[in-house]
Amino acid sequence: MGRKKRKREVDEQLLDSLFHIEQEWKQIQSIVDKSIEPTDVGFYHQNLAKAKYLFLLREARRRKISAIQYNQ
């Protein structure tokens, strides 16, 4: 029973991180898109946030979890 509870907690943390990084990526992307002359640092942060998001998304798929399961 303890192991299932721990797995559920880790899955919930993964989803929380996934949603947080997604918002961060979209916010940075919006800033870069609206910039007249975006800097290399802006592109770097955008690509870094995107890479983090895609990594967490792959991990969620590998664990076969979805946000629908945890909304209850």
Task: Give the pLDDT confidence score for residue 28 in this predicted structure.
Answer: 94
| d(C-alpha 8, C-alpha 52), whole Å | 21
Average pLDDT score over the chain: 88
Answer yes or no: is pLDDT of 49 > 90.
Answer: yes
Q: Three-class SS of residue 39?
A: coil
pLDDT, tens digit, 9 for 90 and up, residues 18-48: 999 999 999 999 999 999 998 999 999 999 9
The helix (H) or strand (E) run that includes residue 57 is helix 40-63
Task: Give the pLDDT confidence score for residue 57 in this predicted structure.
Answer: 93
Question: Which pLDDT band holds residue 1 (cuts at 50, 70, 90)?
Answer: low
Answer yes or no: is pLDDT of 2 > 80.
Answer: no
